[in-house]
Amino acid sequence: MPAVKTIYLCQQCGSSSPKWAGQCPACGAWNTLVETIAAPRPVGGRAPSAARAMAGIAAVSPIGTVTSAEAARVQSGIGEVDRVLGGGFVPGSIILIGGDPGIGKSTLLLQLAGRLASNGGTALYVTAEESTAQIRGRAERIGAVVDGLSLAATTDLDAALAAIEGAVPTLAVVDSVQTLTSPELSGPAGSVGQVREVAARLSELAKASGTCVALVGHVTKEGTVAGPRTLEHLVDAVIYLEGERLGSTRLLRAAKNRYGSTDEVGVLEMRGDGLAEVDDASRFFLETDETPTAGSAVTIALEGTRPLAVEIQALTAAASYGNPRRATTGIDTNRVLMLIAVLARHAGLNLSGHDVYVNIAGGLRIDEPAADLAVATALASSLRERPVRHGTVLAGEVALSGRLRAAARAERRLLEATRLGFDRLVTGTMRGEREPSLSAGMVVARDIREALAEALEG
């Protein structure tokens, strides 16, 4: 009988170490190594020759002889979810839904199960964190008590697999992947080995039965799904539900999608009866008051391929102490610091003695460079106390030289701005794409000083 060997597995990256250390030698995380009994290896480290002989040879086919097959998708019943998934659930796929605690992951998946069941499909909700009575109470609140939706409560992986195999639902929800345990492994729930085993066996079941499996995943403080990185490789799609817990806006983003694009974003609103679709996201994020206000500028941002009108708010105030503050919400602070330096150097706006606060309204986060011009204009508007001209939106990248580059897909942004009632889009010089007619509302500026002259009143 081989001797029992103890190793230490990192709960962050899944790497192993022969001895304990305070810091993982692979990923650098602290206090993540957990003692685990290693599985005994066959003599010589290889499988027996008989087992290798039974494995056979994988069939090899020229690509020209292989017939492609596009699986029919199953509509989820929530259009914003279908947008992010690429058109709906793919039978046999496995999807991981991640998000902060209390953000609405369980509510969203229970709604999806209820919608799918009410549209003629079947759904099974397997919970390892709550009782079926608690799930029933939430289902009553969101209107998901429908025929075709079944519930099961267990923390045992084998029992959950048996329930899914017996029901053969269109959609199986597992809440959550970190709380199920396999009796074949000795580690606790949520450990690297357990999470990997749970995901692998659920993936095998999904492929074999054609059931779409949706997993709930907890996230770390960095915002990524907790557990080994292999978890994200095992699943077909990784979807993140984002938003502020105290706010009502929720955004769905795909970090990985084997059956669709990762450039789409879904916009939802948390209400008393669950998550609701936002029909017109641009109007939802814009302030209803049309009175121009100093320190406020509107840009048309592209979330994937979707144009969204976003209000950028800036406030400048004389610094009370020697070192002025720089605080941002929803945008990279380093990007704002760069724009402050550009304004000082190329527009004559010195903010060295002012506290600066920048906020993206509606709880959104903006990462694209096309928002540079709107941020810089909002800062100049607040400092000069001059509002942006009525009906003006801004989109363009600001270079360190003060020159402007046009936003990508400028025509699409202009169409969205026109739909919302704006008549002017201030942007930079366009290269590599067809330049629209200036009479259509496009105002081209060469540098930041010229753009501020076009955008601000007075």
Tens of pLDDT, residues 321-330 = 778 999 999 9
Reply yes or no on whether the pLDDT at 86 is more than 70: yes
Determine the average pLDDT of the residues in 403-428: 90
How many Å apart are CA 116 and CA 122, to the nearest integer? 7
Average pLDDT across the chain, whole number: 87
Residue entry with tokens 């914003």: 80
Q: What percent of the chain has pLDDT over 90?
A: 56
Tens digits of residue pLDDT in 151-185: 999 999 999 999 999 999 999 999 989 899 998 88
| C-alpha closest to that of 232 among 244, 250, 249, 220 | 220
Which residues lie closer than 8 Å to 455 by C-beta, 6 or more apart? Answer: 297, 377, 388, 389, 392, 394, 426
User: For the chain, what is the largest distance between any 2 Cα atoms, rounded to a whole number of angstroms?
Assistant: 87
Of residues 212 and 50, which shows the higher confidence score? 212
Of residues 419 and 52, which shows the higher confidence score? 419
Reply yes or no on whether the pLDDT at 53 is more than 60: no
| 85-89, 154-158, 188-192, range with the lowest pLDDT | 188-192
Reply yes or no on whether the pLDDT at 70 is more than 80: no
The H-or-E segment that residue 253 falls in is strand 249-257
CA distances from 343 to 59, 104, 206, 314, 326 (A): 64, 41, 55, 14, 15
CA distances from 143 to 161, 172, 209, 238 (A): 27, 19, 29, 26
Q: Enumerate the domain spans of the chain.
A: 1-40, 79-279, 284-455
Indicate the fold that domain 284-455 takes in CATH. Answer: Ribosomal Protein S5; domain 2 (3.30.230)
In a 3-state reduction of DSSP, which class is residue 113?
helix
Reply yes or no on whether the pLDDT at 107 is more than 50: yes
The reply to whether domains 79-279 and 284-455 share a CATH topology is no
CB 379 within 8 A of CB 339: yes
Residue 219 confidence (pLDDT): 75
Residue 221 confidence (pLDDT): 60
CB 150 within 8 A of CB 123: yes
CB 153 within 8 A of CB 191: no
Q: Which of 16-30, 154-168, 263-277, 440-454 has the highest mean pLDDT?
A: 154-168
Task: For 259-335, list the strands marked E by DSSP.
Answer: 265-271, 274-277, 296-303, 306-318, 326-329
Residue 263 — very low, low, confident or very high, per pLDDT cuts 50/70/90? confident
Residue entry with tokens 């480290």: 45
Please give the backbone phi and psi of residue 185, each rounded to the nearest 5 degrees, phi first.
-110, 150
Residue 304 confidence (pLDDT): 78
Q: Give domain 79-279's CATH architecture.
A: 3-Layer(aba) Sandwich (3.40)
CB 16 within 8 A of CB 7: yes
Q: What percent of the chain has pLDDT over 70?
A: 89
Residue 439 confidence (pLDDT): 45
